[in-house]
Amino acid sequence: MSEAVETEIIVRSGTFQLAGAAEGEALVFSQSLSFWGGIDAETGDIIDHSHPGLGKNVAGKILIMPSGRGSSSSSSVLAEAIRRGTAPTAILLERPDPILAVGAIVAEFLYGISMPLVVCEIGGIASGERIAIDVGGAVGAIVRKVKK
């Protein structure tokens, strides 16, 4: 007999900067991260020595933070990480970030690989929790904690 999976909606609506569905383990930071000089696109490791996530890996995670942090070159680093398979599965932000949006859109256009980028309330999500993102029709993004 299989165990039922329960879900709890933690964000009833969000806005997609790039639509899509994803599921993965949350990696939550209260401090923003720049992909330019902050992430190694070859490995997905955080390499910014001033960031509290130094040494952690974003690959396959749902990266959650207030916003991106600077440098227009972050879009090219994100696109390259998406191409290599070392990028987050999705990114949740409290504030829109056009630079990260450009990177995700370019990767989808050039490589056919989609990485959802959602703007929503990020409070109440902790690192290690399993998160699912779905397209919610008229309401935009639906973000849920997935419990087993």
71 catalytic residue (yes or no): yes
Give the helix/strand (H/E) hosting 62.
strand 62-65
Q: Which one from 32, 67, 71, 73 is the annotated catalytic residue?
A: 71
Contact between 3 and 40 under an 8 Å Cβ cutoff? The reply is: no
Distance between CA atoms of 30 and 57, rounded to whole angstroms? 16
Question: What dihedral do alpha carbons 30, 45, 34, 22 form, nearest 10°?
Answer: -70
DSSP 109-129: HHH-----EEE---TT--TT-
Question: What dihedral do alpha carbons 4, 23, 15, 37 form, nearest 10°?
Answer: 150
Contact between 97 and 120 under an 8 Å Cβ cutoff? The reply is: no
Residues that are catalytic:
71
